[in-house]
Structure 1
Amino acid sequence: LGILAAQVVNWLIAKPVLAGESMLETWNAQEGWRWMFWAGAIPAVIFLLLLFLIPESPRWLYTKGKHEQAKRVFLRMGGEEYAAENIRSIAEAAELSQAKSRKRNLFQGKLLRLLLLGSFIAVFQQWCGINVIFNYAQEIFTAAGYTVSGMLFNIIITGVINVIFTFIGMYLVDRIGRRALMLFGSAGLFVIYIALGACYYFNCSGIFVLLLVLAGIAVYAMTLAPVTWVIIAEIFPTAVRAQAMAIATSLLWIACFVLTYTFPLLNQNLGAAGTFWLYGGVCFIGCLFLWSRLKETKGKSLEEIEQELEG
């Protein structure tokens, strides 16, 4: 919703660009970009204020010895029975994790394999290439033959699709499962990128490119985008979850930087067709890896997942 709101605000701020007019001489380039950044400060302040209403993680509280505070959070979430059941599960998992953590650390044995799995999934979420469409939408739609005004409106359409299919993904994640959605997402993006590269290669511009871009965003929004965060929050044992998630999340944003930085270089040397075919190859490799390594965690508590993966 935040991304869509930003896209709509930018569209409302921007003024039409006349045919043949230089972008550098327009109001958008001279003044509009300042309003764009000022508009972004408003939700940032609201977000900061709302952070004070978010409760601390009950599992983190329990691992720090704050058992009563952890119980109070669970009571707010689901009542006495829910709190007692979760506290008991956390206590059992914490005892097991502490016994194992005395013998080995995050960078050894099964924990290292889980860390590598979570890190791969985090990096793959970025290197699947979809964020290039968000970050370089102007170049992609311009190459497809759209004007500046058409490009800005198309960006709003991508935002609407992103929001709709994110909610669909939230509905499906506990019904279809994490593994199935990740496999569908990686395989779906592979097919879409191959077709998108073919459109650029054979100069099929306009509506064909727009439809494929929207299909790619839809697939990503209901699979890799939300499910990645669910998986990396579930697969790590309680005793090392904070450190492991910090590493995986850091690698995710490093991968985002690398993706964003390298796209212009790839586009310049490989062309739009070659670049999207390359991303398609990454998705194909990612799909094979997930098929062989990722286990389903649907319908299981964090403690049950820990016992299965550590067993």
Structure 2
Amino acid sequence: MRNNLKYVYQYTVVAAVGGLLFGYDTAVISGAIGFIQKQYGLSAAMTGWAASCALIGCMLGAMMAGWLSDSFGRKKVLLLSALAFAVSSLGILPASGLSWFVFFRMIGGIGIGIASIVSPMYISEIAPAHIRGRLISIYQLGIVLGILLIYFVNAVIAGMYDESWNITTGWRYMFGSGLIPSLAFVLLLFTVPESPRWLARQNLWQKAEAVLNKVSEANVAEELNNIRIALHTREGGFKELFKPGLRKALAIGIILSVFSQVTGINVIMYYAPEIFKATGEGTSSALVQTVLVGGINAVMTLVAIKYVDRLGRKKLLLTGAAGMAVCLAVIGWAFYNQMTTGYWVLAGILLYICFFAMSLGPLTFVVVSEIFPTHVRGRAMSVAIFFLWLSVYIVSQTFPMLLNAIGSAYTFWIYMIMSVLAFLFVWKQVPETREKTLEEIEQMWSALK
């Protein structure tokens, strides 16, 4: 094994810090939403808006990220996302009302939307084919570590003083703490090169070759030639995405992205403390249980990293979707029978997290990052991930209203039905891409034309 893998993992870890900020900034709301609701006296609909307003920014960031990264490079746009995170964290600290809170959350959302596309895209473009799934899954590990970290930070801040302090001040510190990892990401990005495939797309072949000499285990001349052939035929635009072959790839990317969210994961991530409080736990115990959710999420993502390139994407996706459906059925049953004071809900949620973290969590980004050709990858990922964030917004906005309208049991059973549909979709439509180079995957779609 050549020394190149040292650089591959080094650059992957830096890009995965974008995932850490993604997880940190999206999940910070979980510990703060109860306090924000009390400070501003929010209705169920307004609570949903406070929890999900950042997702408007996420959608904007996702829409811009493809064009920006294709025009200015993956590295520069990742720097932009890091700065957006920092501005958001700093701005919320003194925010004088709900409107300013929403404004700065949207700026942070733009950073999240950009990172959710460009970080896994960058990793896919530097990764050797035989470990590409593992490396992109490290990005998801960054997300879940960010979630775990902010769960711990939230629990520590919430325990510093009393409830009244948390309602007026504590939740601001929860958001402000994101400034530290944001600045760390800015500094780390100066240590990585630009994506070799983006450099090739700009006809900067010598620079692309220099990067590939660092990260590639294949014959660099042959790899450059394959990239040249793939880029030679056309310049990617949105119309290209709707041609035969790529049209199917786009549909798979969009639908898989939607299923990764409408199966309920962000209900758990955003509202976990509130769910545990509903089972009879106090604020402190609920936050501790939420840290446990984050820990399980991180551990099971390691399982995905280990097996994604051994077993393949499809087997793990099918196993995860089936397991999630069973767990959501159990959670709904526990609420339906008012058996929430024992361990049924906690056990169901932890097992649900296990199945999600080894399947739809990391592998959605793996599949979406690798199924599109280089000349349209940025734009295609923007479309797919836009629908991911739209789905997150709809689920987050509607969850409090569903609880009020139909109750916890039926709400979780809706997510169970979505998990069953996700299983059927993966089984029938998602191809296996294990050990294929990005250029070989492109040829697979070309054969459908």
Deviations 1:98-140 (A, max 9, x none): 39x79x7212322222111111111111111111001011221
Alignment partner of 1:202 out of 313, 334, 337: 337
Matched, 1:89 2:233: no
Q: 1:47 — aligned with what?
A: 185
Shifted more, 49-58 versus 295-304: the winner is: 49-58
TM-score w.r.t. the length of structure 1 is: 0.91
Q: 2:290 — aligned with what?
A: 155
Q: 1:17, 1:264 → 2: CA distance? A: 28
Matched, 1:165 2:300: yes
Q: What amino acid does structure 1 have at the position aligned with 2:345? A: V
The number of aligned residues is 301
Matches within 5 A, 1:1-40: 1-15=145-159, 23=163, 26-40=164-178
Alignment partner of 1:125 out of 252, 260, 267: 260
- SS of the aligned residue for 2:275 comes to helix
Identity %, equivalent residues: 40
Q: 1:241, 1:82 → 2: CA distance? A: 23
Matches within 5 A, 1:134-153: 134-153=269-288
- SS of the aligned residue for 2:194 comes to coil
Q: 1:39, 1:110 → 2: CA distance? A: 45
Matched, 1:187 2:319: no
Q: 1:246, 1:98 → 2: CA distance? A: 19
Alignment partner of 1:72 out of 210, 216, 220: 210
Q: CA deviation at 1:226?
A: 0.7
Q: 1:140, 1:16 → 2: CA distance? A: 22
Alignment partner of 1:61 out of 199, 205, 208: 199
Does the CA-based 8 Å contact 1:75-1:82 persist in structure 2?
A: no
Q: Pick the structure with greater CA Rg.
A: 1
Q: CA deviation at 1:203?
A: 1.2
Q: 2:327, 2:395 → 1: CA distance? A: 18
Alignment partner of 2:381 out of 245, 256, 278: 245
Q: CA deviation at 1:73?
A: 1.0
**Structure 2 CA distance for partners of 1:16 and 1:194, relative to 1, 3 Å:** farther
Shifted more, 139-148 versus 287-296: the winner is: 139-148
TM-score w.r.t. the length of structure 2 is: 0.64
Deviations 1:11-51 (A, max 9, x none): 11112898xxxx5xx22212211221221211111112222
TM superposition outliers: structure 1 runs of 4+ over 3 Å: none
Q: 2:160, 2:335 → 1: CA distance? A: 27
Q: CA deviation at 1:141?
A: 0.7
- SS of the aligned residue for 2:408 comes to helix
Matched, 1:235 2:379: no
Deviations 1:240-262 (A, max 9, x none): 11110111111111111111111
Q: 1:6, 1:171 → 2: CA distance? A: 25
Q: 2:334, 2:304 → 1: CA distance? A: 28
Q: CA deviation at 1:53?
A: 2.3
Q: 2:172, 2:368 → 1: CA distance? A: 37
Q: 2:412 — aligned with what?
A: 276
- SS of the aligned residue for 2:435 comes to coil
Q: 1:198, 1:301 → 2: CA distance? A: 44
Q: 1:82, 1:204 → 2: CA distance? A: 60
Matched, 1:220 2:359: no
Unaligned runs of 5+ in 2: 1-144
Q: 1:300 — aligned with what?
A: 436
Does the CA-based 8 Å contact 2:330-2:344 persist in structure 1?
A: no
Q: What amino acid does structure 2 have at the position aligned with 1:88? A: N
**Structure 2 CA distance for partners of 1:248 and 1:112, relative to 1, 3 Å:** same
Does the CA-based 8 Å contact 1:189-1:283 persist in structure 2?
A: yes
Aligned-pair Cα RMSD in Å: 1.9
Q: CA deviation at 1:192?
A: 0.8
Q: CA deviation at 1:88?
A: 2.3
Q: 1:38, 1:12 → 2: CA distance? A: 14
Deviations 1:244-281 (A, max 9, x none): 01111111111111111111111111211001100010
Q: What amino acid does structure 1 have at the position aligned with 2:284? A: S
